[in-house]
Structure 1
């Protein structure tokens, strides 16, 4: 699942968002997002969808990005 974490970090930084700001926009705790980015835990689909949506994407982007 670290690929998802790397992807999230990449698009978060491309949008110039801190973990705290993304957490505020998505309603998902910054510590949770940080664990995903570090590969320490795997996201559940509901929370991942919230974060992806807060970044302005749809879930299909996760399936098509490498």
Structure 2
């Protein structure tokens, strides 16, 4: 599961900085950066929060098939 590209695209679509997203999720901006570079994977709780925040399914997020 590599969601970095989809996560970055969604974050930018919602006009959020990495810091904005990190504060929304209760993680560090470094963590968000690592998710986006695929050097670290978010846990299931973070994935659920991301999906809810961006209005996508876990499957869409996990497969990086997020419609524009």
* TM-score between both structures, scaled by the size of structure 2: 0.73
Give the number of aligned pairs: 65
Question: Which range is displaced more, 24-33 or 3-12?
Answer: 24-33
1:59 corresponds to: 58
Deviations 1:19-41 (A, max 9, x none): 11111122232211110101111
Q: Is the 8 A contact 1:4 1:62 kept in 2?
A: yes
Larger helix fraction of residues: 1
Q: Which sections of structure 2, spanning at least 5 residues, go unmatched?
A: none
Gaps of 5+ in 1: none
Give me the TM-score of the superposition, normalised by structure 1.
Answer: 0.75
